[in-house]
Structure 1
């Protein structure tokens, strides 16, 4: 267990620190500022969803059982709350329907003290992209709640990246969120003040999800003639075996017994009954602040009384008791700032660190090597001012970023050498030709190999095996073992990217579903509770956006609403 109590006097306290000021962080700030989603109608084209909406007890979505409302929904996200919010904001959008949203955001909630930290202006990585690139999503899908995305001047259904970046910057201003944003700031460290797992407890995420569902309430002593709770006994045995004094067995009434799998399916928490004579002793833990209603119980509340541990519910006694320390650096002034907070929300996207080929790992990148399209274009434009003739540009990769680079280089009348490991690209199967003609053009070039397309030569099923920076010579190796040697002017390795979570402590970096792999938005997102977006095994740490697999803007509001709903409940604001 790690406990840090000594803090500098100049530490700034916030209830919530949001790391990342892209659309995910903006949506999160919107909810925390008190602008909450309210249902305006329950008439949805999905009859099952419409039926569930008719049973809500309040029009404010924050206070609803989001898991229940999201049951049965399917779409391009694996997170149920994201699918729910998309269904309410863009009903049947995937079928081409343009319907009015069933929600509106109103300034009806209590403001949660928070700060959004970002490297650049609000909008995140949209400000670093090639401004002339068109979005994959329709322009209308790039909007955040409350302000529609403006129609493109060129009448394109898709939007230019420069328009998207400008929209997010204007959105923060018009929604009066500027006071929550701190720009030109790099987060250098995030540290937990408490270990959320006892050292002798199992590490299975399923175990901790089960513990989180246990609820406690006080019952008179007359209810003790009930059957023992085997589940609670097992949990207590695991979590308090180091205690010097033996805890009483928790009990529950027989009519509460039901199949565990059915409880999981219905997302109904188990209820554990604490006898009345335990009530006095348990007052030392402020999770028993209510004597009449059920109160959520965390794994910490099972801990032995003699272990010095910050309690999950210390907020009722010490509302400004922090659980996390966040350190940041102002890139303009060099000033460092330390924040303490109860909750941290990771909203830093997935494009910070480009993937690198093995031959470049551990080496300094040569001057002619880049990992993003904007840098490639800058180098090309600078070189073309000095000469009109350049050696071919090497592009490695078979995704959309590589396709963008192929188009950008050919438009400058510079030859392209395109290297990729497969036989062809796969993106043509996902993108209809009538909406994405430029990508299908590149796909045709990759299949053709370059025999009928000027300034383009493809090397399918090849790998880059050697790079000589002094002579700008590269060696390619085919699948059959044939070697090709080429002279190039520049090289762009565009094989995807991953989030930069280097500010986390080493023991906190294994956040993915697969602990032995790096976080990847497509193959290994952060392991979260699907209804609250809290990171498994890390109390008070949340993740939203591409970090959890929500790679399209239209799904980002769902994560913000899920986190907002959980925080409003934890802080007793609803």
Structure 2
């Protein structure tokens, strides 16, 4: 059944948060009015303790975050993230479990906002294999206010399914449900400053249709040879029924009382709008119109084109909306447009798997997958009808590839593992006593598989040919040696990127302008103390997009953004 798309009226919000994972949840917590207050200023770090004793107010949003975060070091490149981590998890990297030095109270101003996400609150945690264990300790997966439940594996790490359930319950228990809009796909984000792009972002389909209908400019014709702003007048007269003020068109020096207008459509016979009598409603150029006749003649046109003036009418008088976000409900197909002053990008970094060059711009064959969950589903389905399978090809040398190797071997299916380096380096910062499974895979990769059943490693090899019909692949080594193999499935697990397809392609927002945005190698270029994207006023980001890849650092980015919003909105 084909879903008919219907576009609703524009909804204004002060802030729109794109992404409903832990980053978006943390942001919503602060925007709802639950803000951090210092309860203790005696920190184990003497230098930080000295700075905390000098502050006058216990509300962290009112502080000089740049001053407080001086000299802090850790696993984040963002100073406010390090500051919040030091206050929420003092000396956590040294193995200590001190009590937090702050608490979140419902003392702040509620900022009108909406959090947009494709699935339930928790983001990509709902799409991860539920049996995968977190890298972080379970206690570090918690957001402010509700501790993470005790873990079942050595009381240290948590299963992904427990993490997903925790975030979904967190939104309910912290009374944030009203702010979350699920099953929502963001199609476009455009700044109203870029006026030529507003139309395509707000009503792309409508403007395409209009372009086909109206090939030449609409030219008003009147007895005095005046050329008033007819298009703006027509739209603004329609809008004036709701008492919305026009801010765009300049007032004409001339006044005109009575005329007949001709609209040139597709250079064919003009459509005649009859003369009309004077009415109280007056246009931006001083012209008076019969609103009923205007609305009858331009009904379809006006309904399909939200004017810039209409968008601004949803914002406060002192500051117009800067951003237009167009979304689609993935269940119904309905299109919803939001206008807002501020946008927060919190969409994570795992939406788009990296692809080998030979698979780019192509649909994946049935035997090829890019995520662990899909691989396991295909294996389980195949093993129901076959006792044995050809080897599974795993490409990659990271943690995701290691998870795939373990999942395949647990099903007694052979694994062919290829990677470009001599070995993996993912165990350098993972203690063996806490991550024994990854150290086991690391040993297998170093050994090559000679002493491990159902495993064969091909270090310093790459995939040169892939035949989906015969399910054969050809590998090539750095020295040019070739190996041809039969496989049952292939899992290409070479990392992922954030899905920022809703941003204009001309925007180069990364630290390195010539590269795609990646959480580890090229995060968004932001102001480190406000998390505002450099060169895009009113656009903020936090979480993996800014290099914060661990949940324990996400609250810092939210605090940086909320502190700046409080100042700009005069809420402090």
User: What whole-Å deviation, never above 9, does each CA across 1:325-357 have from its counterpart, x for those lacking one?
Assistant: 001111011111000000000000000000000
Q: Which residue of 1 aligns with 2:323?
A: 324
User: What whole-Å deviation, never above 9, does each CA across 1:205-259 have from its counterpart, x for those lacking one?
Assistant: xxxxxxxxxxxxxxxxxxxxxxxxxxxxxxxxxxxxxxxxxxxxxxxxxxxxxxx
Q: Which residue of 2 aligns with 1:534?
A: 532
TM-aligned CA deviation for residue 507 of structure 1: 2.1
Secondary structure at the aligned position of 1:563 is classed as helix
TM-aligned CA deviation for residue 466 of structure 1: 0.7
Contact 2:415 2:456 (8 Å CA) reproduced: yes
Q: Which residue of 2 aligns with 1:362?
A: 361
Equivalent residue pairs, number: 452
Secondary structure at the aligned position of 2:427 is classed as helix
**TM-score, normalised via structure 1 length:** 0.77
Q: Does 1:44 align with 2:43?
A: yes
Q: Which residue of 2 aligns with 1:554?
A: 552
Distance 1:516 1:337 in 2: 33
Secondary structure at the aligned position of 2:506 is classed as helix
Distance 1:363 1:507 in 2: 24
Secondary structure at the aligned position of 2:384 is classed as helix
Secondary structure at the aligned position of 1:172 is classed as helix
Cα 1:176–1:163 shift into 2, 3 Å: same
Q: Which residue of 2 aligns with 1:280?
A: none
Contact 2:8 2:334 (8 Å CA) reproduced: no
In the TM superposition, 1:274-313 aligns within 5 A as none
Q: Which residue of 1 aligns with 2:205?
A: none
Q: Which residue of 1 aligns with 2:171?
A: 172
Picking from 536, 540, 543, the partner of 2:541 is: 543
User: What whole-Å deviation, never above 9, does each CA across 1:18-49 have from its counterpart, x for those lacking one?
Assistant: 00000000000000000000000101000000
Q: Which residue of 1 aligns with 2:186?
A: 187
Distance 1:342 1:25 in 2: 17
Cα 1:49–1:476 shift into 2, 3 Å: same
Secondary structure at the aligned position of 1:318 is classed as coil
Distance 2:92 2:142 in 1: 14
Structure 1 unpaired stretches of 5+? 1-7, 197-308
Q: Which residue of 1 aligns with 2:509?
A: 511
Secondary structure at the aligned position of 2:466 is classed as strand
**TM-score, normalised via structure 2 length:** 0.77
Q: Which residue of 2 aligns with 1:573?
A: 571
Cα 1:80–1:397 shift into 2, 3 Å: same
User: What whole-Å deviation, never above 9, does each CA across 1:78-127 have from its counterpart, x for those lacking one?
Assistant: 00000000000000000000000001000000100000000000000000
Q: Which residue of 2 aligns with 1:384?
A: 383
In the TM superposition, 1:222-241 aligns within 5 A as none
Q: Which residue of 2 aligns with 1:434?
A: 433
Contact 2:314 2:321 (8 Å CA) reproduced: no
TM-aligned CA deviation for residue 75 of structure 1: 0.3
Q: Which residue of 1 aligns with 2:404?
A: 405
Secondary structure at the aligned position of 1:91 is classed as coil
Distance 1:154 1:522 in 2: 28
TM-aligned CA deviation for residue 321 of structure 1: 2.1
In the TM superposition, 1:104-143 aligns within 5 A as 104-143=103-142
Secondary structure at the aligned position of 1:339 is classed as strand
In angstroms, what is the RMSD of aligned CA positions?
A: 1.7
TM-aligned CA deviation for residue 428 of structure 1: 1.3
Q: Which residue of 2 aligns with 1:65?
A: 64
TM-aligned CA deviation for residue 363 of structure 1: 2.1
User: What whole-Å deviation, never above 9, does each CA across 1:300-329 have from its counterpart, x for those lacking one?
Assistant: xxxxxxxxx99xx99997156210000111
Runs of 4+ in structure 1 deviating by more than 6 angstroms, as ranges, are 313-317
Secondary structure at the aligned position of 1:506 is classed as coil
Distance 2:191 2:445 in 1: 49
Q: Which residue of 1 aligns with 2:522?
A: 524
Distance 1:469 1:195 in 2: 45
Contact 1:35 1:107 (8 Å CA) reproduced: yes
TM-aligned CA deviation for residue 72 of structure 1: 0.1
